[in-house]
Amino acid sequence: MRNISDTIARLSAMRGGTAFYPQGHLDSLSDLAEFGSNPGALRARFYVPENLPRGAALVVVLHGCTQTAASYDHGSGWSRLAAEEGFAVLFPEQQRANNANLCFNWFVPEDVTRDRGEALSIRQMIEAMVTTHGLDRRRIFITGLSAGGAMAAAMLATYPDVFAGGAILAGLAYGSASTIPEAFDRMRGHGGPSKSELQRRLAQASSHKGNWPKISIWQGTADRTVAPSNADALVAQWQGVHRAGAGHGRTEAVDGQTRQVWCDVDGNEVIEKYTIAGMGHGAPLKTAGEDGLGHAAPFMLDVGISSTRRIAAFWNIAGRGARGEPQPAAGAANPAAGTALDTYIATEKSRPARVEPAGQPPPDGSRASPVGIGKTIEDALRAAGLMR
């Protein structure tokens, strides 16, 4: 267990290193005003190309800390790709009242449990988009960066019946942390549940009995915010439900980077992991050339490979599979997603404040000035965006 001075120092470093995305870019997103009880108190934004036919796919995109939906869209290029390939994009957006640094609360149990908190808000947004725009329930996907990646992992775990695929960029495994100290330790690659325990938590996050979403995982080797070991934990967690062991995969080079693939017993690609050599914390981009997409910015890193395009191709919604032509892996990935889904409209309720007792003893076990230390911890946590 780290002592209190180290914890506060790391919090201060995070706060000092925060880089806010420039907001002078064109915002092409619209607001989804009505979508349910919204217990997570999130904002919903979306992009639908002109003349989008019924039965198009939907991609849900979760931004990282300090980012907005519009800034992440501008950097990643998801709405531009949607216009090119013909699908809709939903951008849930965190609010400062929930998290000062605009991080999705992936480490708060009430927000990552099925039909509760932020997870339910995102589910309600999806249902509203599908119903309003006549989208294909069999082709709903989700992706996210950092805290957004960890929240995407939570959505895939708690609603595997909803998604045909997911992509997690510099994120963390579902159930890897449930407190603020655990969140910091997991981000740094310290501790965490065993492989078997991670697999158990995923399997028990819902009552799902059908096939599971296919998963794309992206990680930089020089990431000092979310340690690369978290990508390995994600692979291990999803190997269980896909029954894809180490013997069912291969390794290849793509755009000069390492791609590992794991297949199920039928030979379908169900897990892929991209390891980006020398890349820090962020989403991999390729902004130049005919296939360039997105714009470089803090946490949006131009490293010569477009995660947005590669992820969409893995899901078969870009290129050959973009218009819904039959693809071996697309329908097989999650046939249960084609069944009717409930409209998740829960009873309206207020969002509980997340304030921990100021008198808690510091994590190093000392008892000196508990009230003063508690206040210092709270102030630091709020400054880092990890506490209200």
List the catalytic residue out of 79, 146, 176, 306.
146
Q: Please give the structure tokens belonging to residue 243.
A: 């029954």
Give Cα 221 to chain centroid, integer Å.
19
> Cα dist. 333→166, 263, 342 in Å?
11, 11, 21
Hey, how many other C-beta atoms are within 10 angstroms of the C-beta on 15? 15
Cα–Cα distance, 122 to 127 (Å, whole number): 9
Burial class (CB in 10 A: 0-12, 13-18, 19+), 331: middle
206 catalytically annotated: no
* Cβ atoms 111, 38 nearer than 8 A: no
Token reading at 231: 């990508």
Residue labelled with tokens 């003893």:
361
Bridge partners of residue 214, in order along the sequence: 165
Q: For tokens 């709405």, what's the residue? A: 79
Catalytic residues: 146
